[in-house]
Amino acid sequence: MAGQSWPEKLRAARKTALISDGKRKVHYLFDDGKEMAEEYDMKTNQLLLRKWRQKNTLGAYGHWQLEVGEPNLHASEALDRDLIKESSTNPIFIRKDTKGSFQWRIRNLPYPKEVYSVSVEKDQRYCVIHTTNKKYYKKFSIPDLDRFQLPLDTAALSFTYSNNTLIITYQKPTEIMTAEEELQKELKKIKAANDEDGDCKTQ
């Protein structure tokens, strides 16, 4: 509902949890009809996957849109990708968070570390990657900050480069760290209500 904070929307969402393959898989259905699916490592509570989908104007659900984690290609898609040899050298942009930071990895970037620059466009709410040799440019948002209506902080952003991979790190604000801890407590309550076979529990 409009006016609700993101933690309030999460608490109000209808949640279904399933324990499988060492992961806690949680499905959220929001009042506006949007769906969110997450996967967490059972041992570390680390977020492994987050994806979204919503209904189109005809009322049918569209494809899942990945926010966190690596794409899980079907065999046919993987085969198609392998047949297009050029794609194996194209930069691959994925988000894989840590407990204390949002993190993105851009693979297949062969340029030396000194050509990369990562900055924040506060007004447009984007982070920007560019190279001085003009070989790579990308801008991306941080949906978590948008949902919490928090400003982007230049001091929170850093990057490293190794093995043709640019790793960009944005330190999570205290507000988000606290909210994530609270969410984990709530998700564990859902888990406690599961039976020994790991069946679903709806809240």
Per-residue pLDDT of the chain (203 residues; tens, 9 = 90+): 557 899 999 999 999 999 988 999 999 999 999 999 999 999 999 999 999 999 887 878 889 999 999 887 543 344 444 544 445 689 999 999 999 999 999 999 999 999 999 999 999 999 999 999 999 999 999 999 999 999 999 999 999 999 999 999 999 999 999 999 999 988 888 754 444 444 444 55
**What fold is seen in the domain 101-171?**
Immunoglobulin-like (2.60.40)
Q: Where are the alpha helices (DSSP H) in 40-195?
A: 75-83, 143-148, 174-192
Domains of the chain, by residue range, sit at 1-88+176-203, 101-171
> For residue 75, which amino acid is it?
A
**Distance set, CA 82 to CA 21, 70, 71, 198 (Å):** 28, 17, 15, 36
Residue 200's pLDDT is what? 46
What was the pLDDT predicted at 85? 45
Using alpha carbons, select from 120, 98, 107 the residue that is nearest to residue 169: 98
What pLDDT score was predicted for residue 203?
52
Neighbours of 139 (CB within 10 A): 12
pLDDT score at 131: 96
Strands (E) located in the chain: 14-20, 23-29, 35-41, 47-53, 65-68, 92-95, 101-107, 116-121, 126-131, 137-140, 157-162, 165-171, 201-202
Could you give the CA distance from residue 20 to residue 24 in angstroms, rounded to a whole number? Answer: 7
